[in-house]
């Protein structure tokens, strides 16, 4: 996959930082930040670092606001942002956008409990994302004092490398001829980390028809699909009508491995 910063989004973020519009000041545009993607953290880090002077100027207003992260990988990326003292990052334990949103409803309201309403949150995102966080935080049924306005700002885009279909086919062929001792491998797994490339992946597996929909009964019983989280799972279901075999409970390599192990124990090896 190819990831590219969105210049307009970075320029907007840069202006907000320069004007200290992301801070705990009453006149700030945003009182906190949300991250659910390492790529968004990379974009944020790029802007933060590029704005520093030779004297290693820090952004003190960023250290007084809550920054929300969906999981351990995103949190590790945020921890690498050079700030002294470090950024205040919360939500690592939640693991997915829905759980993070419910956590923020309580945590953010407590953070700004002295104010009659919560200041807006800035959500740095890619071109493709779920809307569960904005919908949950801006639910009209919530009391006004609890509701949180969320503004999404696209800071990166994702594309498919031209060589991906050929590279994927090559890997599929290599795995197909692998053997465990004298016997063929009982299963092979394709792990999907992003909606981008799902079309090429399913076509490479021969699972899509000409209309771009999943072909019924096209599974070979040995090839299984796992997704890093619900965004990619829902994209596969909504776009192609394809249901992956595993969706990691936690968006991490360990979460994927646990999901695959549980699936194989219950289904594949029976």
- Between strands 246-247 and 223-227, the pairing is parallel
Q: Which residues contact 52 (CB under 8 A, 6 or more apart)?
A: 58, 82
pLDDT confidence of residue 147: 96
Ranges under pLDDT 70 in the chain: 1-3, 51-58, 159-163, 165, 176-184, 268-270
CB atoms within 10 A of CB 265: 10
Question: Which three-class secondary structure state does DSSP give residue 142?
Answer: coil
Other Cβ atoms less than 10 A from the Cβ of 171: the count is 13
Query: Which residues, in sequence order, are bridge partners of residue 184?
Result: 179
Give the pLDDT score at 3: 64
According to DSSP, residue 21 is labeled -
Spatial separation of the C-alpha atoms in residues 255 and 270, rounded to whole Å: 22
Cα–Cα distance list, 37 to 41, 74, 130, 207, 215 (Å): 7, 6, 12, 28, 31
The pTM score is 0.72
At residue 166, the pLDDT reads: 73
Q: How far apart are CA 124 and CA 40, in angstroms?
A: 6
Q: What is the pLDDT of residue 213?
A: 93
CA atoms within 13 A of residue 181's CA, in its CB half-sphere = 2
pLDDT in tens, 210-244: 888 999 988 888 889 999 888 889 989 999 999 99
Starting at the edge strand that comes first in sequence, how are the strands of the sheet with 188-192 ordered?
188-192, 223-227, 246-247
Listing DSSP states for 186-251 in one string gives S-EEEEE-SSTTHHHHHHHTT-B-TTS-BPTT---SSEEEEESSHHHHHHIIIII----SEE-SSS
Alpha carbon 29 to its chain's center: 24
Look up residue 215 and give its two tokens: 């072909």
pLDDT of residue 82: 78
Contact 1, 163 (CB under 8 A): no
C-alpha 220: how far from chain center: 30
| Best CA proximity match to 223, nearest among 170, 181, 266, 260 | 260
Q: What percent of the chain is predicted at pLDDT more than 90?
A: 49
pLDDT value of residue 54? 38
CA angle 101, 81, 24 (to 5 degrees): 55
């Amino acid at each position: 996959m190819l990831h590219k910063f969105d210049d307009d989004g970075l320029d907007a973020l840069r202006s907000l930082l320069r004007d200290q519009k992301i801070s705990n000041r009453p006149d700030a545009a945003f009182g906190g930040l949300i991250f659910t993607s390492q790529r968004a953290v990379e974009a944020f880090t790029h802007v933060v670092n590029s704005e520093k002077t030779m004297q290693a100027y820090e952004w003190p207003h960023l250290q007084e606001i809550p920054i929300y992260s969906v999981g351990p990988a995103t949190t590790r990326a945020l921890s690498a942002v050079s700030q002294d003292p470090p950024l205040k990052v919360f939500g690592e334990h939640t693991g997915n956008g829905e759980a993070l949103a419910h956590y923020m409803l309580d945590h953010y309201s407590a953070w700004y409990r002295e104010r009659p309403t919560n200041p807006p949150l800035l959500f740095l995102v890619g071109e493709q994302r779920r809307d569960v966080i904005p919908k949950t935080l801006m639910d009209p049924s919530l009391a006004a004092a609890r509701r949180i306005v969320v503004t999404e700002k696209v800071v990166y885009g994702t594309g498919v490398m031209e060589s991906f279909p050929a590279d994927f086919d090559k890997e599929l062929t290599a795995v197909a001829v692998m053997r465990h001792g004298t016997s063929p491998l009982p299963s092979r797994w394709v792990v999907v980390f992003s909606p981008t490339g799902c079309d090429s992946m399913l076509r490479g597996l021969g699972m899509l028809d000409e209309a771009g929909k999943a072909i019924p009964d096209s599974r070979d019983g040995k090839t299984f699909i796992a997704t890093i989280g619900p965004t990619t799972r829902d994209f596969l279901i909504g776009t192609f009508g394809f249901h992956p075999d595993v969706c990691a409970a936690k968006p991490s390599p360990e979460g994927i491995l646990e999901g695959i192990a549980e699936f194989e124990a219950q289904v594949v090896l029976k």
